[in-house]
Amino acid sequence: MEEHPMTRVAFIGLGNMGSGMAANQAKAGREVFAFDLSADAMARAKEQGMTPAASAADAVKDADIVITMLPAGSHVRDVYMSTILPNAPKDALLIDCSTIDVDSARTVARDASMQGFRAADAPVSGGTAAATGGTLTFMVGCREQDFAEIEDALKPMSKATIHAGDSGAGQAAKICNNMLLGISMIGVSEAFALAEGLGLDPQKFFDIASKASGQCWSLTSYCPWPGPVPAAPSNRDYEGGFAAAMMLKDLRLAQEAADISGAPTPLGSAAEALYSELVDRGHPNKDFSAILQMLRGRL
């Protein structure tokens, strides 16, 4: 019987999210060539069964799949232009999982397709725990005919992979979703602060609102008040969740997109201002639900 060759994955960007994601590619029996500028991240990748590459160009040169997880649009554009497009095999599938501006995502995909590559933007929802657990949700912008292959490439890291539309649609879905999340968390936090001010027991308020028309994910899955939802970061002093600085990044991307598209987002703008204040007060790494404690005057 003919040996089926191992799928070769180049993974560039082994930060808080990328390291767990890349490890799941390796656990799935794929050969992972990893690259990051951090020596610590590279050492950890080796421990997790990956091959540390000498450079990003070295990582992609024989890849079947190239996955990037980088901080911003400028990094993605730079790595694509200087490294991936000149060095990756033309039949490699290029997937960017970073959260970046829609314009950068479309530019990168256009440049890649002009050179004969199949490319996708596939930002994620779920945070570091889901990255480690392989239970992220991916929102994918790509050509319809490429989606099945992209879904398969993402499978070791994914709980759900959804085709959002053409290039850039994944990023659009991500920033719209996270703007909604930021706004709803502030709404839930304001309601708890008011309930407290009115002498209403927070657990009783939770029991009522979670069964009433105020019910939402920020309340019932991720409650900012410690107690009602045991798994929520509010019970761990707001550590180890979705960092306020990351929420601020997404809200800024949403506001940039709103300015360009002319969409009215008054609450998105207010949410950006409030999270900016939380970060400026010295709490960039606290979970974004810590906004409750800022509203209560406890930070």
Q: State phi, psi for 55 to the nearest 5 degrees.
A: -155, 170
% of the chain at pLDDT higher than 90: 96
pLDDT at 148: 98
With 0.85 as the threshold, say if the pTM is over it: yes
What are the CA-CA distances from residue 166 to residues 68, 101, 102, 141, 145 (Å)?
19, 15, 11, 5, 11
pLDDT at 129: 86
Range in 2-6, 123-127, 261-265, 280-284 with the lowest mean pLDDT = 2-6
Rounded average pLDDT over 185-206 = 98
Distance CA 48, CA 69 (A): 18
Q: What is the mean pLDDT of the chain?
A: 96
Residue 143 backbone phi and psi in degrees, to 5? -70, 140
- Alpha-carbon distance of 255 to 271, in angstroms, equals 10
CA separation for the pair 87, 13 (Å, rounded): 17
Q: What is the pLDDT of residue 224?
A: 98
1 pLDDT higher than 50? no
pLDDT of 113 > 50? The answer is: yes
Q: Could you confirm whether 174 is annotated as catalytic?
A: yes
pLDDT tens by residue, 84-101: 999 999 999 999 999 999
Sign of the alpha-carbon torsion through 217, 219, 221, 224: positive
Confidence category of residue 219, pLDDT binned at 50, 70, 90: very high
For residue 2, pLDDT over 50 is answered with no
Given the residues 46, 155, 159, 174, the one annotated as active site: 174
For 128-168, write each residue's pLDDT tens digit: 889 999 999 999 999 999 999 999 999 999 999 999 999 99
Dihedral (C-alpha) 112, 117, 118, 121: value to the nearest 10 degrees? -30
Confidence at residue 4, expressed as pLDDT on a 0 to 100 scale: 52
